[in-house]
């Protein structure tokens, strides 16, 4: 699918379009990381600061006066965040000082040599002044073209070419070759930054609201069956936390005492199966099925999925007849 022009994406993002901003983050995550790396020189902290810059950019898009200058605006914002971090911490840490002595071939010697050379490359890059260092990281590690670098740094193409040429003169030939082969086309860091950034700005489920007829009895039932903890309780409603649910994105169950007879379920007219609105996850499906039956909960049989050994789900009902379900299948993007 062909993407819109960048200034159109920026304008769409300004109007709250998270999909448009996702495309921008996909494009600039490596650049933000390269900017942070050129200043902080610590891979993990650089990732965190790049992510922080992209999140802050989302919430401050209204301050961007020219949609065509998003890249250079982000560069300035990222630098400012890095400078603030440096002032606060008053230090920088070494980059990948401890090599990972494993790979797919389990050749410890080969991995050690590669990690040693990689460290040597970073040591050489760190000897460059910042103006050359950022260009080298953008060009060799983030995979930006010369034109993209000029737009991002808001400098001329000839200035970029000059900085790359001067940086190459200071780096040994074998180190340049290593950067071209080892670092290029590696988008793993950029993808991680993209995913973590979008996780912090996209809408997520905050609360699942469930109608009940007896708030006290329902609280006890949900605690016993799902292991929930009461966060808030009155005579007619209650907020229940799922265990380990203090992280953003993990919904709270909101029980509301009501005389309404509507239940949380719907009929799939294609299959004539009654579905629940809420589907919980458990790793051990059969064990949980047995547990619910022993607790006297109304449960259906386990429906195993064809071609997925041991994977499936089943339905059960709370004391008010609300249809709930549980499965041991996760989908892409879920933890």
Is 316 within the bounds of a domain? yes
Q: Are residues 180 and 297 in the same domain?
A: no
| pLDDT number for residue 56 | 94
**What H or E segment, with its residue span, contains residue 209?**
strand 207-212
Q: String of b and e for 7-37 (b: at least 16 CB within 10 Å)?
A: eebbbbbbeeeeebbbbbbbbbbbbbbbbbb
Domain of 333, CATH number, reads 3.10.180.10
Q: Burial level of 226, CB count in 10 A (0-12/13-18/19+)?
A: middle
| pLDDT number for residue 244 | 59
Q: What is the pTM of this model?
A: 0.65
Enumerate residues 6+ apart whose C-beta is below 8 A from 112: 99, 101
| pLDDT number for residue 331 | 59
Residue 76's domain comprises 6-201
Is 139 within the bounds of a domain? yes
Of the three residues 149, 178, 201, the one that is the final residue of a domain is: 201
Q: How far is residue 283 from each of residues 84, 280, 295, 311, measured CA to CA in Å?
A: 43, 10, 19, 10
Q: Are residues 168 and 120 in the same domain?
A: yes
Is 84 within the bounds of a domain? yes
| pLDDT number for residue 179 | 56
Of the three residues 175, 201, 227, the one that is the final residue of a domain is: 201
Of the three residues 215, 232, 262, the one that is the final residue of a domain is: 262
Q: Are residues 166 and 285 in the same domain?
A: no
| pLDDT number for residue 41 | 73
Is 107 within the bounds of a domain? yes
Please count the other Cβ atoms lying within 10 Å of the Cβ belonging to residue 100.
Answer: 10
Q: Are residues 162 and 249 in the same domain?
A: no
| pLDDT number for residue 1 | 42
Is 124 within the bounds of a domain? yes
Q: Are residues 160 and 183 in the same domain?
A: yes
The alpha carbon of 204 is separated from its chain's Cα centroid by a whole number of angstroms, namely 13
Q: Are residues 54 and 189 in the same domain?
A: yes
Q: Are residues 250 and 326 in the same domain?
A: no
Q: Are residues 98 and 51 in the same domain?
A: yes
Q: Are residues 23 and 123 in the same domain?
A: yes
Q: Are residues 109 and 150 in the same domain?
A: yes
Alpha-carbon gap, residue 312 to 308, rounded angstroms: 8
| pLDDT number for residue 113 | 43
Q: Are residues 102 and 164 in the same domain?
A: yes
Is 1 within the bounds of a domain? no
| pLDDT number for residue 18 | 86
| pLDDT number for residue 328 | 86
Q: Are residues 16 and 99 in the same domain?
A: yes
| pLDDT number for residue 309 | 85
Please check whether residue 259 is in contact with residue 250, taking contact to mean a CB–CB distance below 8 angstroms. Answer: no
Number of structural domains the chain divides into: 3
Enumerate residues 6+ apart whose C-beta is below 8 A from 18: 198, 201, 202, 203
Alpha-carbon gap, residue 266 to 274, rounded angstroms: 6
| pLDDT number for residue 103 | 41
Alpha-carbon gap, residue 27 to 145, rounded angstroms: 12
Mean pLDDT by 10 residues, the chain (335 residues): 76 89 91 85 88 94 91 91 88 44 44 50 71 80 82 88 82 58 58 87 80 94 90 92 64 88 78 81 88 91 86 90 86 52
Please check whether residue 302 is in contact with residue 313, taking contact to mean a CB–CB distance below 8 angstroms. Answer: yes
| pLDDT number for residue 82 | 92
Q: How far is residue 236 from each of residues 130, 150, 232, measured CA to CA in Å?
A: 61, 61, 11
* DSSP one-letter code for 96: S
| pLDDT number for residue 204 | 72
């Amino acid at each position: 699918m062909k993407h819109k022009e960048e200034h159109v994406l920026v304008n769409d993002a300004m109007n709250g379009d998270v999909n448009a901003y996702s495309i921008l983050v996909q494009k600039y995550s490596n650049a933000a990381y390269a900017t942070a790396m050129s200043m902080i020189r610590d891979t993990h902290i650089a990732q965190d600061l790049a992510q922080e810059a992209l999140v802050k950019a989302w919430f401050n898009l209204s301050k961007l006066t020219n949609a065509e200058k998003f890249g250079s605006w982000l560069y300035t914002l990222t630098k400012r965040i890095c400078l603030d971090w440096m002032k606060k911490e008053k230090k920088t840490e070494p980059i990948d000082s401890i090599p990972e002595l494993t790979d797919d071939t389990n050749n410890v010697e080969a991995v050690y040599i590669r990690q040693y050379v990689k460290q040597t490359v970073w040591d050489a890059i760190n000897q460059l002044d910042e103006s050359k260092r950022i260009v080298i990281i953008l060009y060799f590690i983030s995979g930006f073209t010369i034109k993209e670098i000029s737009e991002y740094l808001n400098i001329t193409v000839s200035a970029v070419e000059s900085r790359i040429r001067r940086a190459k003169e200071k780096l040994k030939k074998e180190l340049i070759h290593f950067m071209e082969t080892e670092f290029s086309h590696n988008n793993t860091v950029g993808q991680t930054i993209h995913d973590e950034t979008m996780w912090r700005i996209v809408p997520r489920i905050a609360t699942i609201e469930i109608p009940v007829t007896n708030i006290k009895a329902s609280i006890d039932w949900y605690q016993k069956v799902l292991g929930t903890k009461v966060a808030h309780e009155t005579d007619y409603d209650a907020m229940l936390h799922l265990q380990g649910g203090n992280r953003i994105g993990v919904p709270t169950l909101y029980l509301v005492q009501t005389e309404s007879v509507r239940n949380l379920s719907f009929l799939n007219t294609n299959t004539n199966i009654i579905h629940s609105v809420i589907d919980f996850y458990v790793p051990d499906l059969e064990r949980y099925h047995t547990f619910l039956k022993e607790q006297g909960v109304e449960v259906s049989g386990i429906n195993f999925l064809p071609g997925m050994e041991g994977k499936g789900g089943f339905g059960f009902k709370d004391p008010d007849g609300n249809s709930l379900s549980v499965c041991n299948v996760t989908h892409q993007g879920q933890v």
